[in-house]
């Protein structure tokens, strides 16, 4: 098994190649991993672990450049990617899988009943961070969030089960959309609450950064309530726990229309339009996808038009 390492946003990626990859394929995939890592580091400037284990496994199946990714939680944590190296670099960097999987590493696994939190954080940030990196436009990010919330709302076949009861049965019932997008709704709502109500420069970015600094390695955080209590500990206010207790009892994906409207995201015929102007909701929306205020060096925005 071939191996190697690259430095990505200050963290070492320990690479293992499974299956045979030519040198040029390896070079291309290293550029993709570099880009995905820098995009994920757009959360607050760094990745949450160092080193990070990356296993790249050759796949020939259909399903795009990265048909599947899976977080590795034991020993040295990281991600296993199944890749089809026949796709060009542009297809890899436009793909969201790697950003999604890397975001999982910012928090511990909260267990099956709270898998909606874990998938929600990764799904929320994959869109926000790809917009920050210029991989997709701000409008495209909101289009994807809007469409995802719609898929979550239409996934209503198990309306007799609360989100907490449905989460451990997600695979068996096929309720991926309601679980993923309820979690995404939760983190969007929490981020807006932090920025609007708590104020003082608070954002989900800053809470995750604080959490990684104080608590990521604390073994006693094993469920959603523990995780949300730790997030509240970072803020010094009860923001996450009350929202978490409400969400886990929901019997349907919440309607995000009113919140999107407040942020100046309007929808006409299924197509998102961003309202401009100086309102506080619009400013807040722009800050979400601006993040650190810089695009990736060498990559920033180069394929924005193509993807959009």
**Contact residues for Zn ion, defined by CB under 5 A:** 119, 122
Instruction: Give the shortest CB-134-to-Zn ion separation in angstroms.
Output: 23
Distance of CA 71 to the CA centre of its chain: 13
Torsion of CA 218, 224, 227, 230, to 10 degrees: -130
Based on CB atoms, which residue is closest to Zn ion, 188 or 272? 188
Contacts of 49 (CB under 8 A, 6+ apart): 11, 77, 78, 105, 216
Based on CB atoms, which residue is closest to Zn ion, 121 or 265? 121
Contact 281, 262 (CB under 8 A): yes
CA distance 164 to 20: 42
Based on CB atoms, which residue is closest to Zn ion, 184 or 295? 184
Based on CB atoms, which residue is closest to Zn ion, 32 or 124? 124
Instruction: Give the shortest CB-104-to-Zn ion separation in angstroms.
Output: 6
Instruction: Give the shortest CB-18-to-Zn ion separation in angstroms.
Output: 21
Based on CB atoms, which residue is closest to Zn ion, 105 or 122? 122
Using the CB atoms, write b or e for 165-175: b if 16+ within 10 Å: ebbbebeeeeb
Instruction: Give the shortest CB-306-to-Zn ion separation in angstroms.
Output: 25
Residue nearest to Zn ion as judged by C-beta position: 122
Instruction: Give the shortest CB-253-to-Zn ion separation in angstroms.
Output: 17
Instruction: Give the shortest CB-147-to-Zn ion separation in angstroms.
Output: 18
Based on CB atoms, which residue is closest to Zn ion, 105 or 263? 105
Maximal CA-CA distance, the chain: 56
Cis geometry, peptide bond prior to residue 51 (ω within 30 degrees of 0)? yes
Contact 246, 190 (CB under 8 A): no
CA distance 230 to 154: 32
């Amino acid at each position: 098994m071939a191996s190697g390492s690259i430095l990505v946003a200050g963290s070492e990626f320990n690479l293992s190649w499974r299956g045979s990859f030519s040198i040029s394929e390896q070079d291309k995939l290293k550029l993709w991993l570099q880009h995905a890592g820098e995009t994920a580091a757009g959360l607050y400037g760094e990745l949450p672990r160092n080193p990070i284990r990356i296993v790249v496994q050759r796949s020939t199946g259909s399903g795009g450049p990265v048909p599947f990714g899976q977080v590795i939680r034991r020993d040295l944590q990281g991600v296993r990617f199944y890749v089809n190296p026949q796709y060009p670099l542009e297809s890899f960097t436009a793909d969201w899988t790697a950003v999604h999987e890397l975001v999982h590493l910012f928090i511990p696994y909260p267990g099956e009943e709270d898998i909606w939190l874990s998938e929600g954080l990764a799904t929320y940030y994959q869109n926000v961070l790809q917009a920050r990196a210029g991989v997709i436009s701000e409008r495209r990010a909101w289009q994807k969030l809007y469409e995802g919330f719609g898929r979550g709302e239409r996934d209503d076949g198990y309306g007799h089960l609360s989100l907490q009861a449905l989460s451990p049965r997600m695979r068996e019932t096929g309720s991926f959309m309601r679980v993923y997008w309820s979690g995404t709704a939760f983190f969007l709502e929490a981020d807006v609450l932090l920025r609007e109500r708590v104020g003082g420069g608070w954002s989900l970015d800053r809470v995750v950064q604080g959490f990684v600094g104080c608590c990521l390695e604390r073994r006693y955080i094993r469920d959603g309530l523990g995780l949300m209590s730790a997030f509240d500990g970072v803020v010094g206010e009860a923001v996450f726990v009350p929202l978490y207790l409400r969400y886990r009892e929901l019997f349907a994906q919440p309607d995000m229309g009113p919140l999107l409207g407040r942020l100046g995201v309007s929808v006409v015929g299924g197509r998102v339009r961003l309202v401009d102007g100086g309102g506080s909701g619009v400013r807040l929306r722009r800050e979400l996808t601006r993040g650190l205020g810089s695009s990736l060096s060498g990559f920033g925005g180069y394929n924005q038009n193509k993807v959009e």
